[in-house]
Structures are given as C-alpha cells and as structure tokens.
Amino acid sequence: MGYVGTVEAIPSTEGKSSFLPLCGVVAIIFAVLLIYSQTAAFSWDEGFHVLAAQLIARGKRPYLDFCFPQTPLNAYWNAGWMRIFGDTWHLVHALSALSTTAAVLLAADFIRTRFPESRWRLPGAATTALVLGLNIVVVEYATIGQSYAFCLLLLVAAFRVAILAVDRRSGRWTGIAGLLAASAAASSLLTALAAPVLLIWILCHAPAGRRWARLFSFAAGGVIPFLPVIWLFCQAPRIVFFNLVQYQLVYRRTNWEDATPHDVEVLTSWLKSPTALILGLLAVLGLWFVARRSEWKASSRAEFYLCAWLALAIGAELSATHPTFPTYFVLVTPFLAIPAAAGLYVAAARIRNPVRAWWPVPILGVLLSLGLAWSLHEDWNKLAWRDMEAVARKVNEVTPANGSLWADEHVYFLTRRPPAEGSEFSYAEVIDLPQDMARSLHIVSDQGLAQKAAEGVFATVSTCEEDDVIENLNLPRSFRQHAALGRRCTVFWDPVAKAP
C-alpha cells in the first residue's frame, strides 16, 4: 500500500475540475438539510432562542429586558435577518441549513486542497461531506433555530484560518482566527474551549519570534464578538453575571433529580446511531493511520492532530456539562469528519488500492443514507412547528386583540404577541429566588404566573406541559373553556375571575 504523501498544490485546472464535483455533492446535502429544515426540524429549546431574536429585532435587550442565559451573538444574527425578511421560523431554519452547508463545504474543501495523497483528495472530500452532512445530529439539530449551525460555520472557518495563520508572517490571519473562534463562543459557550486550543496550536506551529504579537492579535480579535456582552455588563453587571454564569453553575439543574443517569444515557447514545458509529469509527481509524502508519510531513499530520484536539476539548466540555444532551455533540462532528476521510482511505486500501478509486464513496453514501432514514423514522412522530402553529391559530382565535397571554415561547413567537413579564424563558419559572432579585432578573415563578391566571389577569393560557403539571397550576379551574391541540398542547380561555 502506498501511504506516503505530501501536501501538493493543486493546479488551477485540476482545482476547478475537482471543486465542481464536490459542489455537486454538497448541493445534494444542502437539499436534504433545507427540505428537512422546512418540514420536520424542531426542538423545544429553539423556542426561547427564536423568541429572543424576535424581541431583539423589536428593540429589546437580552438580560436587561428579558431573561436569556445564553451568549447573544446568534440571537443578534437571527434578529438582523428577521428585520430584513420577517420573523418566521422558516427563515431561521433556512439560515441554519445554509450555515451548516457552508460548514460542510469548508470541511470537505480542506481535504480537497490539503490531503497529502493528492489522488485521494476529491474522494476524501466527498467522504467528509457525506459523513458530516448526513449525520443524524447534524440533520436534526443544525437545521433549527438554536446556535448549532452558526457555531459549526464559525468553528470550521476558525480551523481553516488558523492553518493559514501559521504560514503567514502577518498577525492579521491570527486575529481573524481569534475573531471566528470567539464568535462561536459568543454564540454558545459550549464552544468556549475551541479558542484556547486554536491559539496554543498557532503559537506552537508558527515560526518563532513573533509569538507575543500573534497572542495579542488573537486576543484582540477575540474581544470583538463579546462587545455587546461587555456593553450590557457595564449597564447591569449583576444581571448579566446571573444569566451567563450563575444560572449555568447553580440553577440549570433545578428540579432535575436524575440528571446523572440521564448524562450516562446521553454519553452512550451514539452506540445506537448508525451514522454516529460510522463517523466515529472512520475518524478513529483515520487518526490512528495519521499517527502510526503515514509517512506524511509533520506539518500535514499536525493539521489532523488539530482536529483531534478540537474534538477532544469540545467533547470534554460537552460531557462535563451537567446535564448534557445529544444535541450538543453536533459541535464535534466537523473535527471527526475531516480525519474520517483518512479512515476511509486506509480502510479502502486494505481491500483495494484506493488511488483515484471512487468505489468506497457511493457505498458509504448508501450506508449513511439508510442510517439517516432509519434514525429519522424513529423520531418522526415528535412535536413539530405545525403543532405549534395550530396552537397559535387557536390562541389568536380566542384571545382579544389587547388580551394578555401566558404561553410557551413558540406561541409568543408565532402570534407576535408580547410575552407575559417573566415568561420569556420558561425554564426560569421553576427557579426559587427572592422576589426582589427575581423581579430584577425578569423571572416570575410558574406558581406566580398561575396565581395571576387564577385572578383573571390572562385572557388566555397556552401550555404543552403534562397533565399533572397543568393540574398543579390549577388551570382547569381558572378558565371556563379549553381545547387540546397538536400532540400534547392545551389552550385555556375565558377566565373565571375577572381582572380589575
């Protein structure tokens, strides 16, 4: 087997001829992501993300005007597009599908341009695109209104720029790498460890003599995405600190007694996913080959090692998050998909010389497509935006134009009605805080909201909680009429008491 390879520049004609077929593969993936994003993509937690973006587009400030325990860049990103094209979930999902596709193309193009065995570059690029774009967590969760898609794009772009930075004397590229990595963290703190990994890698592999300048450039670029947070912090330090730090460390596990067994189940769930198994096995095989069997130059191996370090660092952070969720691990997929190209290369070489051989790629594509179809079929009957739209229609039907509403974030977003004070982030409703502190943080307990419902403050209440929670909130006795909608949602209206 010929494993020896060096990073060779691609001639312009060959580069164009290989880029177009890769774009064809990525276009198919984009079609899959876009169709799924507009039909079945849904996550309960995206409700408070899209509502936050809608509120920001209306001039509200996160933290200061409503509770939002997330870094805000993704919300600002979506809010900007909402101001141009309108505040619909279809727009937000289309943006996510487009961002994810761009991340897939950047990751695959890295293999196309830098894989040491030049004759495996295009098949390897297609491999990376397929194992990334057809992965179940990418399809299901990088097409929704949360920050995963935007973070994927920023992380892969930061990785590509960091590799360029070590070969450039100017610190500009190092600063751009810091800007992109920090932008990912400013969209989700789940990516926070990517920035120090990229910085350390740049400092270790860049020519000696300008490391302090590179450190300054990276730090300067890293500050820019956090300027909105700094501005908000200067206005209300305690409130911003609660949202970004205190809530995550102290209150995130409120009323979750079985969080540890849940985490164990999540961390082993990849064993039940065909696409995750294929991605993981190929990535491990590829990294083993790069470290033990390849005769590549040290600089080429270092780029693949960077993928491994990023996957380990982000994966460790996600695993330590308590509780953790399968959705989080979408953030490590690009840095497994890149070495997966080397994994398929060595696997194919064991069977047949893979040079200019496309034969493993369509087989891989079929296996991934079947695994994706099976996984989507398993999750097909979950709650969807069409269910929430049915709820929103009923809410608009029974609620007066100026009537107050207590609802889930999705319904606020769809009806474009102002949220009840303290209900913009429903997870905070179970937090037990002193009344003055809760008021300053824009948090009202569910019992406090239920009391207002009993007093007739709300014309309508909409909830998708379980029956025992609804009963505990006394909603059936606070309203004369109700209707069940969607898979598990209920709308209550015509309050028994009349508000003064």
Model confidence pLDDT, tens digit, residues 441-491: 999 998 999 999 999 999 999 999 888 889 999 999 999 999 998 778 999
**Contacts of 335 by beta carbon, 8 Å cutoff, 6+ apart:** 155, 159, 307, 308, 310, 311, 314
Continuous segment of H or E residues that includes residue 117: none
Whole-number CA gyration radius for the chain: 25
DSSP state of 497: S
Confidence class of residue 7 from pLDDT cuts 50, 70 and 90? very low
Length of the chain measured in residues:
500
Distances (CA, A) of 10 to 6, 16, 22, 112, 498: 12, 9, 15, 9, 75
Residue 54: what pLDDT?
A: 98
CA-based nearest residue to 266, from 324, 311, 332, 315: 324
Residue 360: what pLDDT?
A: 87
Alpha helices, DSSP H, located in 58-189: 73-85, 89-114, 121-133, 136-141, 148-165, 172-187
CB 306 within 8 A of CB 201: yes
Model confidence pLDDT, tens digit, residues 205-264: 888 777 888 999 999 999 999 999 999 999 999 999 999 999 988 887 655 666 677 778
Name the residue type at position 449.
L
User: How many CB atoms lie under 10 A from the CB of residue 41?
Assistant: 24
Task: Estimate to the nearest angstrom the gap between the alpha carbon of 269 and the chain centroid.
Answer: 18
Range with the lowest mean pLDDT among 153-162, 334-343, 355-364, 390-399?
355-364
Using DSSP's 3-state secondary structure scheme, residue 253 falls into: coil
Give me the sheet containing 460-463, strands edge to edge: 405-406, 460-463, 489-495, 479-485
Model confidence pLDDT, tens digit, residues 327-372: 999 999 999 999 999 999 988 877 666 555 678 899 999 999 999 9
Model confidence pLDDT, tens digit, residues 101-147: 999 999 999 999 999 988 889 999 999 999 999 999 999 999 999 99
Which residue carries 């985490």 as its tokens? 263
What average pLDDT does the structure give for the chain?
Answer: 90
